Structure 1
Amino acid sequence: MNRTRRDRATLAAIVWAVLVSQVLLYPGVEDLVAVLGAGADAGIDAGMWFLVAEFAAFVVCAGLWGAASDALGRRVPLVVAGALGGAVGYLALVGVALADLPFWVALLVRVLGGAMTIGAFSLGITMLMDLTGGHGRNMGAAGLAIGLGAALGSVVGGRLTTLDPLAPVVGAAVLLFVVALAAATVREGAVESAASDPADDPVSESVDGSVGDDAAEPGMGDVLSGLGDRPELLVPYAFGFIDRLTAGFFALVGVYYFRDVFGLSAAGAGGVLALFFVPFAVLQYPFGTLSDRVGRFAPVVVGSVLYGFAIVGVGIAPSLVPAAAMMVVVGVFGALVAPATMALVTDVAAPEERGAAMGGFNVFGSLGFLTGFLVGGTAASTLGYLEAFLVVGAMEVGIALLALRAVRRLAPGGIARTSETAAEPTEGS
């Protein structure tokens, strides 16, 4: 295994493990909020605010971690600190339950824990994004890590909930402690060495991988300022926002939907979520590589339309089996869209701007997750599950139709073949 592949695998494993720890809580969130003080009859609103609390911290604190990496000049210590802080946050949730404290205390702990966890997650992705070897390939690796983490977390989290509602919380804490230990072994110069390895970079990209202003995870003010300088980034940002919104929707409403409508246990709901996450994970790498070869337009635009209709299909399915089958379809189309959208960011941004550009994408993505919880939870509780699926599916189709011309202008005939990836050999050949 050459150096770039080894670095890519290590960083992807860190991202994967953080996602597992996060998603462990999702299948049993209904049971968890009950033992954390919300009460057994709290409904979807309590679960919504429990998830919103963490992602609100993600949005606010992602830029702070990037600024800290600038000031320190290193990333690995911050990944370790973020993982350790996240682990402590999960253990604090166990303390809230054992001490029978009010639910608002649990929400406060979620905010603080999320503020720490986003450091490990965000900086891990940024380091992965800077590697050479093809933007679609690198973002496909990121998507593979995220999807596999979500898939495993949903299955294992559901099983752990059947043992005890707090078991997934303890499992998440243990996993983040392991992440901290693993992150401490990562070479600080991993990105620099990958960028300087001529065997892995035949076109000599001008990305040095150093931790500078361009590599920081920006705050919202920085993102908006960057959009003023390069407004075309708004196109992949908008797609990223909606795509993450749908993921947040399934993480909350999907769980409650399959449990309330079809009477599934937490383990059953986790298994159904995995039907989405497994193909979403497994297909991201090949679909990301495909977008390097055929361009971004078809995966982004056509994939988004199909993805939106598949989401609606889950909501209108008459019984569990077709609903579960549609979850697989949703995962396939989601995998087609996600890596191409992330790769479009690096296609549009200049080499010296890619760190900040991807940071902006992550900020919009976190806002999308947050909005997915709020829109999905509110629509499901006030209108009903079917209406919630219709709203979210229409949003996915709508962004594809509204941005069709913009995507075609940014990626005419396959932008990937006109960039550095055209000269790259197929990795692993």
Structure 2
Amino acid sequence: MRQLIYLAFICFILMFSVTMIYPVVKHYVMDKYEATVSQASMFVAVNLIAYAIFAPVWGSLSDKLGKRKVFITTGLLGNSAMLFLQAIAPNLSLLMLFRFVEGIFTVMVYSIAMTLVLDIARKEAYGRGMGVIGMGIATGTAFGAPFGGFLGSLNPVMPFYSASLLIFLAFVFALIILEDVEVESSKSVLEGIAVAKKRKELLIPYLFSFVDRFTAGFFISVFPIMLGTLYQMTPKEIGIYLSSFLMPFALLQYPGGFISDRFGRIKPLILGSIIYGICISSVGFLTPPAIAISMLVAGVAAAIILPASSALSGDLAPKDLKGAAIGGFNFSGSLGFALGPAVAGFIAEKYGFSQTFYIAGISVFMVTFAAVLLLRKWKINAF
């Protein structure tokens, strides 16, 4: 359990640090480098693209080598270096390059950390283990941006230097404290990347990972705009409404993992997804303050879904391809997170805010229905 807490702490520092820079994209990327809105958006997107491309690569490579710790420490050190280089980048092109490489190192850390959970925890405790890591990732994400906004108000470059320093300290911590485990090596990297072809049932948690982060993309992009445009909310009020989702999502990951260990993966996934889909659809027709209540319930449901779906990936993973299985899980999620904001923006601009969230809810219902059909087809029991 102690090693799981160490991993969660490392993931917290990582995500707290990398999200610190989001509030200063306008003041740093656009103002200093004279970037356009689309270029500033690409600054965010290239990071997510790197996540999607390299999540399965690092997972498969760690399986091949039978090592985990070296990937976590290397990822932390590389991430720290890339954030420092972004703080001193001489032009926009190099800034974008450093941002992309930073994403490569970021996904190396948290994807392999999730894999290490499967190596450490007993199979019947995968849900709680994933809940501990998920809590670290989610709380870091929730608290990093506000702190970055505070630092950015002093100087827009400060979040980059601060994030670089914090992650370097996390690297030193991991190097000294984190223990590696002996794992069975896989035959090849290519075999690992194709793990979903070998174990087709992994498609089920991958679908949930995709749609969960796809719809999260709606909330980080269109939701704040909707609150400001339709209800004339201030940035502070918008932050409160976002926190009504983020706080329960971050703080209830471990209880969510316990539920999946106690009642199986499938039941919490299906029930949680139905509740989640209803809540995000309701954003399209509710008004404040009812929206905050719906978001609160959605956050609770999401805290049940994530540890159950990631633990299900571990349940279904071949013994020597756990890293590849989690890499595929994170690839699916990163792909969804990259597509979500673009799709949400298109729908909102063409059809309106209400229709945007109806579509978000429908996408959850469609994936849930598809998962039920696949469960019946492949005769998968509720683990």
- TM-score relative to the length of structure 1: 0.78
Q: Deviations over 1:266-289 (max 9, x none)?
A: 555444333222101221211211
Structure 1 residue corresponding to 2:306, chosen from 338, 352, 366: 338
Structure 1 residue corresponding to 2:297, chosen from 319, 322, 329: 329
RMSD of aligned residue pairs (Cα, Å)? 2.9
Question: Aligned partners of 1:74, 1:155: CA distance in 2, in Å?
Answer: 35
Distance 1:19 1:390, change over 3 A: same
Question: Aligned partners of 1:299, 1:67: CA distance in 2, in Å?
Answer: 29
Q: Name the SS for the 1:24 alignment partner.
A: helix
1:24 aligns with 2:15: no
State the one-letter code of the partner of 1:90. Answer: L
State the one-letter code of the partner of 2:111. Answer: S
1:289 aligns with 2:258: yes
Structure 2 residue corresponding to 1:127, chosen from 116, 126, 129: 116
2:335 maps to which residue?
A: 367
1:405 maps to which residue?
A: 373
Question: Aligned partners of 1:18, 1:254: CA distance in 2, in Å?
Answer: 25
1:388 aligns with 2:377: no
Contact map agreement 2:186 2:321 (CA 8 A) in 1: no
Tell me how far 1:17 sits from its aligned partner. Answer: 1.5
Structure 2 residue corresponding to 1:252, chosen from 207, 218, 221: 221
Tell me how far 1:13 sits from its aligned partner. Answer: 1.1
Q: Deviations over 1:289-345 (max 9, x none)?
A: 1112212232111211221221223343334x3333332222111112111111222
Contact map agreement 1:213 1:356 (CA 8 A) in 2: no
Structure 1 residue corresponding to 2:278, chosen from 298, 303, 309: 309
1:110 aligns with 2:99: yes
Contact map agreement 1:259 1:265 (CA 8 A) in 2: yes
Q: Note the residue ranges of structure 2 that are not aligned, 5 or more in a row.
A: none
Q: Name the SS for the 2:177 alignment partner.
A: coil
Q: Deviations over 1:350-400 (max 9, x none)?
A: 434433322221221222222223323443455444333232222112111
1:62 maps to which residue?
A: 55
Distance 1:19 1:257, change over 3 A: farther
1:182 maps to which residue?
A: 173
Structure 2 residue corresponding to 1:35, chosen from 6, 31, 40: 31
Question: Aligned partners of 1:113, 1:377: CA distance in 2, in Å?
Answer: 26
Tell me how far 1:80 sits from its aligned partner. Answer: 2.2
Q: Deviations over 1:105-141 (max 9, x none)?
A: 4333311221222222222222123222411111111
State the one-letter code of the partner of 2:285. Answer: I
State the one-letter code of the partner of 2:242. Answer: L
1:422 maps to which residue?
A: none
State the one-letter code of the partner of 1:182. Answer: F
Question: Aligned partners of 1:267, 1:80: CA distance in 2, in Å?
Answer: 37
Contact map agreement 2:131 2:253 (CA 8 A) in 1: yes
1:79 aligns with 2:72: yes
Contact map agreement 2:64 2:186 (CA 8 A) in 1: no
Question: Aligned partners of 2:136, 2:18: CA distance in 1, in Å?
Answer: 13
Question: Aligned partners of 1:381, 1:31: CA distance in 2, in Å?
Answer: 25
Q: Deviations over 1:13-62 (max 9, x none)?
A: 111211112222335545554335355xx55x455422211011112223
Identity of aligned residues (%): 32
Distance 1:170 1:264, change over 3 A: farther
State the one-letter code of the partner of 2:83. Answer: Y
1:210 aligns with 2:183: yes
1:49 aligns with 2:45: no
1:88 maps to which residue?
A: 81
Q: Name the SS for the 1:184 alignment partner.
A: helix
- TM-score relative to the length of structure 2: 0.87
State the one-letter code of the partner of 1:118. Answer: V
Contact map agreement 1:70 1:212 (CA 8 A) in 2: yes
Q: Note the residue ranges of structure 1 that are not aligned, 5 or more in a row.
A: 193-208, 416-429
State the one-letter code of the partner of 2:249. Answer: F
Q: Deviations over 1:55-88 (max 9, x none)?
A: 1111222344345546765433332222222222
